[in-house]
């Protein structure tokens, strides 16, 4: 990998970096980007999802509501976090915390890193589709500045469920896709081993998404990927989040909501 970074990485190479076991996760962000964090638990309806967490956080002196998917490090932590695959409770907790942001006049910063929403029978029974759908609707009219950071894997609806906002940032080696390359390959190529080709075709890397007008800004990573120098990567994230929050603060909430609506309505208008 180190040798390859000297050359142009393929989309499939970038998928591997995005999924790297040592890639900075939400715990690292809380530890190194935030000076304070108060986790807030529970959706008040059923439970407390460990795959999607949130709370009050302070970033460079700015008080925010932070939400984010949680991938663990190591097997035990990953089982606890369900590998970053959120359940309906996670999306509903996120909505509850975003409501608090609106009430307390705080911006929302959302960190996205999930293979996708959890595809389990209990998640279906408790309304995975409804939970995501309501977040999409809710986030489109939330009266708070919202900065989204696609950190690792932006897995389809499970990512989008906390990824509607005013500024969409994406780490250089993150990916964001409607379906996993493996899933796409097995459906459209009828051959899971064609995942590298599907990854290329789906245009899931940050530069492609910037060209398509889906993301606003690419956050640079150290050569070889964020895991090679987490402190440097996290410093870049902090810098980008603060710069965007400062810009959004200058815009009135009415204008912000209008711009957010126009931003998403324009996606896929050719």
Partner 1 sequence: MSWFEKPAEAPASAPAETVWAVCPSCKAYIATKTWQDAGKVCPRCNYHARLSGRERIAVLTDAGSFKEFNSAIGVNDPLGFKDASGSYADKAKAAAAKTGAGEAVLTGTAKICKIEVVLAVMDFKFLGGSLGSGTGERILLAAEKAVALKRPLIIVSASGGARMHEGIVSLMQMAKTCAAIARLKEAGLPYISILTDPTTGGVSASYAMVGDLNIAEPKALIGFAGRRVIEQTIKQKLPDDFQTAEYTLSHGFLDHIVPRKELKNFVAKILRYAGF
CA nearest to 218, candidates 205, 200, 201: 205
Question: What does DSSP assign to residue 50?
Answer: S
Candidate list 29, 33, 34, 160; residue touching partner 1; CB under 8 A: 160
Taking CB under 8 A as the rule, does residue 176 contact partner 1? Answer: yes
Find the shortest distance in angstroms from Cβ 82 to partner 1. 11
Long-range contacts of 261-265 (CB under 8 A, 24+ apart): 261/140, 263/166, 264/140, 264/164
| Region of 15-23, 97-105, 176-184, 237-245 interacting with partner 1 (CB under 8 A) | 176-184
Q: What residues between 213 and 252 interact with partner 1 by CB under 8 A? A: 214
Measured at the alpha carbon of residue 217, what is the angle toward residues 110 and 209, in degrees to the nearest 5? Answer: 95
The residue among 78 and 140 lying less far from partner 1, judged by its C-beta, is 140
Find how far residue 265's CA is from the centre of its chain.
20
d(CA 32, CA 28): 6
Q: What residues between 67 and 96 interact with partner 1 by CB under 8 A? A: none
Candidate list 191, 193, 232, 235; residue touching partner 1; CB under 8 A: 191
CA nearest to 180, candidates 39, 12, 28, 44: 12
Question: Count of residues binding partner 1 (CB under 8 A)?
Answer: 55
CA nearest to 155, candidates 126, 184, 120: 184
DSSP reduced 3-state for 206 = helix
Find the shortest distance in angstroms from Cβ 68 to partner 1. 18
Taking CB under 8 A as the rule, does residue 210 contact partner 1? Answer: no
Residues that bind partner 1 (CB under 8 A): 117-121, 123-130, 132-134, 136-141, 156-157, 160-161, 163-164, 176-179, 184, 187-191, 194, 198, 201-204, 209, 212, 214, 260-261, 264-265, 267-270
């Amino acid at each position: 990998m180190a040798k390859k970074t000297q050359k142009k990485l393929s989309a499939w190479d970038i998928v591997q970096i995005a999924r790297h076991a040592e890639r900075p996760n939400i715990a690292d962000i809380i530890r190194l980007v935030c000076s304070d964090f108060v986790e807030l638990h529970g959706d008040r309806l059923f439970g407390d999802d460990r795959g999607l967490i949130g709370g009050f956080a302070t970033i460079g002196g700015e008080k925010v509501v932070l939400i984010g998917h949680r991938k663990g490090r190591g097997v035990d932590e990953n089982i606890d976090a369900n590998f970053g695959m959120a359940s309906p409770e996670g999306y509903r907790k996120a909505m509850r915390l975003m409501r608090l942001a609106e009430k307390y006049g705080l911006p929302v910063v959302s960190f996205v890193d999930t293979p996708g929403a959890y595809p389990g029978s209990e998640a279906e029974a408790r309304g995975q589709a409804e939970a995501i759908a309501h977040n999409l609707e809710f986030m489109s009219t939330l009266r708070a500045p919202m900065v989204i950071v696609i950190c690792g894997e932006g897995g389809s609806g499970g990512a989008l469920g906390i990824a509607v906002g005013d500024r969409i940032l994406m780490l250089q080696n993150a990916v964001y896709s409607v379906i996993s390359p493996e899933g796409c390959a097995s459906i459209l190529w009828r051959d899971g081993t064609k995942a590298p080709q599907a990854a290329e075709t789906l245009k899931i890397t940050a530069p492609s998404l910037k060209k398509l007008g889906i993301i606003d800004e690419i956050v640079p990573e150290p050569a070889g990927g964020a895991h090679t120098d987490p402190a440097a990567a996290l410093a870049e994230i902090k810098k980008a989040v603060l710069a965007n929050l400062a810009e959004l603060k200058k815009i009135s909430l009415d204008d912000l909501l209008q711009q957010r609506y126009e931003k998403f309505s324009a996606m896929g208008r050719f």
